[in-house]
Amino acid sequence: MLGRPKVEVAAEKLSAQFPETTWTPLICEIADVGFQRLRECSLIFSCTDNTLARVETAYVAYRLQVPIADAGLKGHAFWSGRVAWFPASSSTACYLCQLGEVRRAELLSLSLSSSHSCSSLLPEHPILPSTPTMASIIAGVQVDLGLRLTLATRQEATPSEARAWELSLPLPETTWRSFAIPQSWDCPWHDSDPSLTLTPLPMDIPLRESIAQHAHGDQLPVLELDWPRCIRARCSTCQYLWSPMVRLAILRRRMHCPSCGGVRLHSIETFSNMTVSDALARHTPKELGLPEDHLFTLRCRRDA
């Protein structure tokens, strides 16, 4: 198993235990998965150890209106954990609502974040590592609460409030608390603009043609990407200039210079939206490296 993607191993093992269930491992980041493949999900579980990945997962859930159960460990010794539940509703808190304004700005600008989603270690307690134990406990709570709340929300036909549950097992005391997560009214995700639509676009047809087909009178559609893409980048080490055509987050987090292998890379040109008159609109989604089976965001605006 060593050296193999863990999602691939998990699917292989689970297929043997649950042969009547179809398991589809996707060896990529969720931001690179087309929305059409995720739209029919009943529930999303998020349990990564990177805050940016959590935000990307939560964004997908919010855009597709799919409930999400987020879980993670906290503290240097990881003897504490947290599960948060966010229903499929734009009228309740989302994952981004619980983050401060500065933290939101960092993550939404695709800055690298390697910290856990929860808080920090209390210094007065001794370090007694228990990661496997706590991970198992929190995972069990996550699955149980996620499934029960999803079913309960469906039966009641009304969205429940966003809530969090925190468990801490420091010696000699154990604490368990639950609290509601309030909606942040300045959260940028709570956009109720009715002109926003999600629609599939052909991968092999120039975007100029696809976008133009969605025009209505003087309403001109604008294609808005979920995550900015880097068109041109420069290596600060050797000054090499090239066109990565990847998500900005990938350039900043894990790419190397094709010339010298350096990691000090800077985006020179990016794009996050497009109209039929933009030069990039002559390209197809495939040529721009956009995910297959995606649902694209189109915002209509009047021609001035």
Residue 17 is assigned to a structural domain of this protein: no
175 lies in the same domain as 219? no
Across 219-237, average pLDDT: 90
Residue 111 pLDDT > 50, yes or no?
no
- Judge if 102 and 201 occupy the same domain: no
Q: Which two tokens stand for residue 53?
A: 């990945």
User: Alpha-carbon distance 94 to 84, whole Å?
Assistant: 10
Count of Cβ atoms closer than 10 Å to residue 288 Cβ: 17
The reply to whether 205 and 102 lie within a common domain is no
Q: Categorize the per-residue pLDDT at 133 as very low, low, confident or very high, splitting at 50, 70 and 90.
A: confident
Total structural domains in the chain?
A: 2
* Mean local confidence (pLDDT), 131-146: 91
Q: What is the pLDDT of residues 171-200, one digit of tens each?
A: 778 899 999 999 888 888 876 554 567 899
Say if 188 falls within a structural domain.
Answer: no
Of the candidates 119, 145, 180, which is a domain's last residue? Answer: 180
Q: Which residue has the higher pLDDT, 75 or 274?
A: 274
**Residues 43 and 68 grouped into a single domain:** yes
Once rounded to an integer, what is the mean pLDDT over residues 5-11? Answer: 91
Average pLDDT over residues 153-178: 84
Rounded Cα distance between 145 and 135, Å, is 15
Q: What is the CATH number of the domain that holds 45?
A: 3.40.50.720
pTM here is 0.83
pLDDT of residue 116: 32
| Domain span holding position 116 | 33-180
Residue 11 has pLDDT above 80, yes or no: yes
pLDDT band at 115 (very low <50, low <70, confident <90, very high): very low
Distance, CA of 283 to CA of 171 (rounded, Å)? 60
Residue 240 maps to a domain: yes
Number of Cβ within a 10 Å radius of residue 167: 18
**pLDDT (average), residues 94-98:** 85
Examine the domain organization and report whether 146 and 245 are in the same domain: no
Mean pLDDT (whole number) for 61-80: 85
- Could you give the CA distance from residue 34 to residue 37 in angstroms, rounded to a whole number? 6
Amino acid in the structure at residue 188: P
Q: Are the beta carbons of 226 and 249 closer than 8 angstroms?
A: no
pLDDT at 125 over 70: no
Give yes or no: residues 172 and 215 share one domain: no
